[in-house]
A and B are shown apart, each in its own frame.
Chain A
């Protein structure tokens, strides 16, 4: 298996521009998570989906951030307009769960390093 795939690996953009980060989860996984890593705040959850439905988006910082999961094999995280404080590494992770079953391991993608100038 190719693992969780994220693109791009690096993104440099100017303040005010729209940024779209992409994630392809591991085939067969039904949960997908977006995390952000910064020096100040560490690793924190932005949003997660279960069976393509957003379950918890309380970590999304503000209306400039939006996430979609149109199907089981693709998700996007969009920032519009971007600001310098959005500079961070954004991770996508996926896992598989059965109804009523115990939780399973989350597999992380390689991350996207975003720099907003």
Chain B
């Protein structure tokens, strides 16, 4: 069975600084997707960034980027120029590539990010 581990329950960053959130996963599959979701106090789950395992290039979305190390099964999220609005729970998630059918997301326990002004 696939598992996702986030080893940092809480992180803190100064506004405008850079922070990296860690995520490791375990799978025997070769094709899969990895995601980072943000959950602010409103509890809405918001997709931050996604990475396809078959792509070697790391995904980027504005201030958000990932460091995807397939061999190490590591998928960290870097937030640059942190803003107060980035404060939230961040969840790392895995999904297998099942072709026509849709596999469910497997989530890590989350990292609570605080941003200090």
Interface of A with B (CB < 8 Å)?
A: 31, 33, 35, 42-45, 48, 50, 55-56, 89, 91, 93, 95, 97-108, 110-111, 113
For the complex formed, measure the closest distance between the CB of B104 and the CB atoms of chain A, giving whole angstroms. Answer: 4
For the complex formed, measure the closest distance between the CB of A43 and the CB atoms of chain B, giving whole angstroms. Answer: 4
Q: A42-B108, A42-B110, A43-B91 are in contact. Are A108 and B44 (CB under 8 A)?
A: yes
Residues of B within 8 A of A97 (CB): 100-102
Number of A-B residue pairs at CB separation under 8 A? 66
A108 touches B102 (CB 8 A): no
Residues of B within 8 A of A111 (CB): 43-45
Interface of B with A (CB < 8 Å)?
A: 33, 35, 37, 42-47, 50, 52, 91, 95, 97-110
Interface-central residue, B44, B52, B102, B108, by most chain A CB under 10 Å: B102
Q: A89-B43, A103-B95, A105-B50 are in contact. Are A50 and B104 (CB under 8 A)?
A: no
A34 to chain B: closest residue by CB: B104
